[in-house]
Amino acid sequence: MGTIGELGEFGLVGRLTRRLPQGPDVLLGPGDDAAVVAAPDARVVATTDLLVEGRHFRRDWSGPYDIGRKAAAQNLADVVAMGARPTALLVGLAAPLDTGADWAERLYDGLADECAAAGASVAGGDVVGASEITLAVTALGDLGGAPPLTRSGARPGDVVAVRGRLGWSAAGLALLAAGGGGPAELIAAHRRPAPPYEAGAQARGLGATALLDVSDGLVQDLGHIAAASGVRIEIGSAALPVPEILGPDGTRHVLTGGEDHAFAGTFPAEAVLPSSWSAVGVVTEGAGVLVDGRDPGPGGWDHFRV
């Protein structure tokens, strides 16, 4: 099928565009100078992420389809964490000219399929040559007339709860780094996260006071809620969802592992949480995050930590 350099920019864009079905929110998709996306709420939720080869993914560990799904998931989950409905994705791809055209097509298949799972679609983007593969992804969403769910609404007395897998991606990454042995489900979870996209609307319906996407580790991300809300969050390790498949380091993976894109929120004490949510702690007066009454120390992912 050749390389993207042999196809040229317009040839590649044409092939990729044909692989991108459009949902009802994209009024004008790829092919013009810009896309047109519906904004029925008159407000647009927007978020963006960069994924750099060697830093966020490795091609010897993940295929292009999984990389595409992962790139879409981490952005779509941020939209959902605001209590919004994802509508569209814009994707910038920089890649060496000898990258196979079929590799790029499978990448876009993954982007499109993950968007479909969240009810969104890829509306457009850009493709350029570069020395290494980099993805720049922007996701858009609609609030449907409701206020956004932010990190700053937690109040003392609230319950802290999580929904979705925690620690699976970190456990899978550890297996890959050790040579790839171990449960295939964990390696698959690292390659392709599975955010429960319905969690945002559900959290709003349950009266959530704060919500976020767990991308950098539960303790670190709950610290963002604590700081923004001016409260302390206290977690009990015995309440954490730690399945046996995570192995002896399961609790550590759940507390500090990122890239599962589960959701963590705070809810009024009287909220009746369904079984899909696990209550793991409480909000109190104070600052920071405590685990079993102790400061857990630094953990989680930091792009600028050596």
Give me the mean pLDDT over the 52-58 stretch. 92
Two tokens at 59?
């091609």
The response to whether 215 counts as a known ligand-binding position is yes
pLDDT tens column, 205-233: 999 999 999 999 999 999 999 999 999 99
Q: Rounded CA gap, 184 and 198, in Å?
A: 26
CA dihedral 302, 299, 293, 164 (to 10 degrees): 80
Domain C-terminal end among 76, 107, 142: 142
The response to whether 66 counts as a known ligand-binding position is no
Of 23-27, 265-269, 281-285, where does mean pLDDT reach its minimum?
Answer: 23-27
**Same domain, yes or no, for 168 and 128?**
no
Q: Is residue 60 part of a domain?
A: yes
Domain C-terminal end among 111, 142, 173: 142
Residue in the structure block whose two tokens are 């409260």: 231
Task: Record the pTM.
Answer: 0.93
Average pLDDT, the chain: 93
The percent of residues in the chain predicted with pLDDT above 90, rounded, is 86
pLDDT tens column, 99-150: 999 999 999 999 999 999 999 999 999 999 999 999 999 999 999 999 999 9
Is the predicted pLDDT of residue 306 greater than 80, yes or no?
no
Domain C-terminal end among 115, 142, 169: 142
The response to whether 301 counts as a known ligand-binding position is yes
The response to whether 158 counts as a known ligand-binding position is no
CATH at residue 39: 3.30.1330.10
CB crowding 46-65: b at 16 or more within 10 Å, else e = ebebebebeebbeeebbebb
**Same domain, yes or no, for 12 and 55?**
yes
Q: How many CB atoms lie within 10 A of CB 98?
A: 10
Q: Write phi, then psi, for 70 (nearest 5 degrees).
A: -65, -45
**Same domain, yes or no, for 138 and 168?**
no
The response to whether 108 counts as a known ligand-binding position is yes
216 CB-near residues (< 8 Å, 6+ apart): 258, 300, 301, 302
Is the predicted pLDDT of residue 235 greater than 80, yes or no?
yes
The response to whether 126 counts as a known ligand-binding position is yes
**Same domain, yes or no, for 187 and 92?**
no
**Same domain, yes or no, for 125 and 234?**
no
Residue 18: per-residue pLDDT: 77
CB 215 within 8 A of CB 261: yes
**Same domain, yes or no, for 227 and 98?**
no
Residue 119: per-residue pLDDT: 97
The response to whether 33 counts as a known ligand-binding position is yes
The two beta strands, 262-267 and 159-163, are antiparallel
**Same domain, yes or no, for 167 and 235?**
yes
**Same domain, yes or no, for 225 and 181?**
yes
The response to whether 259 counts as a known ligand-binding position is yes
Q: Is residue 207 part of a domain?
A: yes
The response to whether 69 counts as a known ligand-binding position is no
The response to whether 266 counts as a known ligand-binding position is no
**Same domain, yes or no, for 175 and 81?**
no
The total number of structural domains in the chain stands at: 2
The response to whether 151 counts as a known ligand-binding position is yes
The response to whether 47 counts as a known ligand-binding position is yes
Q: Rounded CA gap, 231 and 162, in Å?
A: 18
Residue 90: per-residue pLDDT: 97
Residue 1's pLDDT band (boundaries 50, 70, 90)?
Answer: low
Is the predicted pLDDT of residue 304 greater than 50, yes or no?
no
The response to whether 216 counts as a known ligand-binding position is yes
Domain span at 25: 4-142
Is the predicted pLDDT of residue 303 greater than 50, yes or no?
no
**Same domain, yes or no, for 178 and 227?**
yes
CATH at residue 192: 3.90.650.10
The response to whether 229 counts as a known ligand-binding position is no
pLDDT tens column, 169-207: 999 999 999 998 899 999 999 999 999 999 999 999 999
